[in-house]
Structure 1
Amino acid sequence: MQAPPVSETPADPPPLLVRRLRWAQPWQWLAWGVRDVLRAPWIALFYGLCFWAMALLLGWVFKASPEYLMSMASGCLLVGPFLAMGLYEVSRRLERGERPELGASLDCWSGHLQSMGMLVMVLMVLEMLWGRAAMVVFAISFDTGMPTTASILQTVLRRENWEFLLIYLAVGAVFAALVYAFTVVSLPTILDRDTDALTACITSMRVVGLNMGVMLLWAGMITLLVGASLLLYGAGLLVVGPVLGCASWHAYRASVYVEQAADR
């Protein structure tokens, strides 16, 4: 009597490992980001226009309803990494010697809907908590009603109101740090390795935990570049946005690998 065939189970994917980074590497990521933008200028321009539109929307919200600025800023911090996913695809194709295409970059997330959906849910919860916390700070600080843009500027310039500014910035810093830790390499990981959202987020937090100093430097560089690009009505994001998007792909490639793969 012939024995029944043994069913083969699919092999588990190799575990994702995290490298220890060097202090000079964030500057290399920026240089590689500039190189990728120069190799795909028209695609970079499209994404730059999208980032600029987000900055103009933030500026309009600040003038019309400043109490919603933190909510809008947190929303942009969530949308930004997903928008940059197309730039990750551009850098990935260039790295493989393939020709980048705008259509492929816009559709790169379609094969990872389940993982992306879970990550979106987690980040939306953070965004709602962030926005609610900011509204509470405003409500406590302005007991006579929601402020106007002019009253906010007057509040910031008054020395006796330093507590409001400190609390407001502290709340934003806490939630921004959480979003950064969850997303700094999670989306490139999903795109490149097709992992689930939990694995991607844990990997991202491991990268930050193992390389706290370097990743703080990278976060500071991102903040300074984005802040400087906002000075001329956000027009600097036409260049800075795509460069940082492509550079973030190289940050992922430098920090995450699998033992069996011949990663750099």
Structure 2
Amino acid sequence: MAQHNTPTDDEKAAAALPFPTVRSIGISAPFHWIARGLADLKACPIASLFYGFCFTAMGLLVTFVFEHAYQYTSAVSTGFLLLAPFFAMGLYELSRRRELGQPCALAPTLTVWRRNAGNIAVFAAVLTVIFLIWARASLVIFAIFYTKEMPNLSGFLSQVMAFENLEFLLVYFSVGLVFALLVFAVSVVSIPLMLDRNQDAVTAMIASIRALALNPLPLLVWAGLIVSLTLLGFLSFHLGLVVLMPIVGHATWHAYRELVAPLGETQPAG
């Protein structure tokens, strides 16, 4: 006898949501997001810096991999940059609470993922698959270009710095860029949208892709800022990550607020 599953209230609410209206923004918008992110950090320093130390721990992991299994470094670094939104959920919640005039408490942000756990899990699975494919592609590229013996760390770095084995470098970094752009495209506003509106994962990813398609230059500037601030954090012996990553996390919430119109606004802002 066939069984019929009755939709839950949350599923009914998600199904009733209209497709998010994506706005056009100016090329200077990412710099305003950074300024607002800094303001959130100053307003919620203790909770924000807690997440900053979490990012620093991730940075130390990347360094460890670089020193002991450097052929995975590009994949792990890509994961750091593009899986970071999951670790930034608490920062999004802090920014949201500040908007609502609520206290900057750390405890409620630690379990904010429960608000839409199923769809966040789907999105996490998508990024995990992409990440694993890139890790495998990274090893395949090394295997193709180093058929006899893998170079040691110092040899690999000397090739990068001196642009030796140029074909390998072009292929390696070009493939990495493709994967990075793919994940960036589906994650621009996905998690904030899922947390804020209980939106389903597929709609959230499509909205992110639309945001990038509608605002390619501003969002490429935004991607460049994220990468630049992250590199700056690494170059400061990871100490900068404690402050810079919370700023980026808070700024991402403000990016979502500007890119996605509030419910009820049906026409994109020009």
Normalised TM-score (structure 1) = 0.92
Could you tell me which amino acid in structure 2 is paired with residue 107 of structure 1?
T
Q: Does 1:82 align with 2:92?
A: no
Q: 1:11-42 CA distances to partner (integer Å, 9 max, x unpaired)?
A: 82233100000122111101100000000101
Could you tell me which amino acid in structure 1 is paired with residue 24 of structure 2?
R
**Structure 2 stretches lacking a partner, 5+ long:** 1-11
Q: Does 1:214 align with 2:218?
A: yes
SS at structure 1 position matched to 2:21: strand
* Separation of aligned partners in 2, 1:75 and 1:184: 15
Q: How big is the alpha-carbon RMSD for the aligned residues of Structure 1 and Structure 2?
A: 1.8
Name the counterpart of 2:147: 143
Q: Does 1:187 align with 2:191?
A: yes
* Separation of aligned partners in 2, 1:160 and 1:80: 32
Identify which of 200, 207, 210 aligns with 1:203.
207
Could you tell me which amino acid in structure 2 is paired with residue 54 of structure 1?
M
* Separation of aligned partners in 1, 2:218 and 2:163: 34
Moved >6 Å (runs of 4+) = none
Could you tell me which amino acid in structure 1 is paired with residue 139 of structure 2?
M
Q: Does 1:237 align with 2:237?
A: no
Q: Does 1:21 align with 2:25?
A: yes
Could you tell me which amino acid in structure 2 is paired with residue 88 of structure 1?
Y
Name the counterpart of 1:40: 44
Q: Would you say the 8 A contact 1:33–1:246 is kept in 2?
A: yes
* Separation of aligned partners in 1, 2:237 and 2:136: 27
Normalised TM-score (structure 2) = 0.90
Name the counterpart of 1:5: none
Identify which of 111, 114, 121 aligns with 1:117.
121
- Structure 1 residues 40-79: aligned runs within 5 Å: 40-79=44-83
* Separation of aligned partners in 2, 1:76 and 1:105: 21
Farther-moved stretch of structure 1 (67-76 vs 229-238):
67-76
- Counterparts in 2 of 1:74 and 1:116: CA distance versus 1, 3 Å: same
* Separation of aligned partners in 2, 1:229 and 1:76: 12
- Counterparts in 2 of 1:229 and 1:96: CA distance versus 1, 3 Å: same
* Separation of aligned partners in 1, 2:145 and 2:161: 15
Q: Offset of 1:247 from its aligned partner?
A: 0.2
Q: Offset of 1:259 from its aligned partner?
A: 4.6
- Counterparts in 2 of 1:63 and 1:20: CA distance versus 1, 3 Å: same
* Separation of aligned partners in 1, 2:136 and 2:210: 28
Q: Offset of 1:138 from its aligned partner?
A: 0.9
Q: Would you say the 8 A contact 2:82–2:180 is kept in 1?
A: no
SS at structure 2 position matched to 1:18: coil
Q: Would you say the 8 A contact 1:65–1:148 is kept in 2?
A: no
Farther-moved stretch of structure 1 (158-167 vs 170-179):
158-167
* Separation of aligned partners in 2, 1:259 and 1:92: 16
Q: Which protein is bigger by CA-based radius of gyration?
A: 1
**Structure 1 stretches lacking a partner, 5+ long:** 1-8
| Paired residue total | 255
- Counterparts in 2 of 1:158 and 1:23: CA distance versus 1, 3 Å: closer
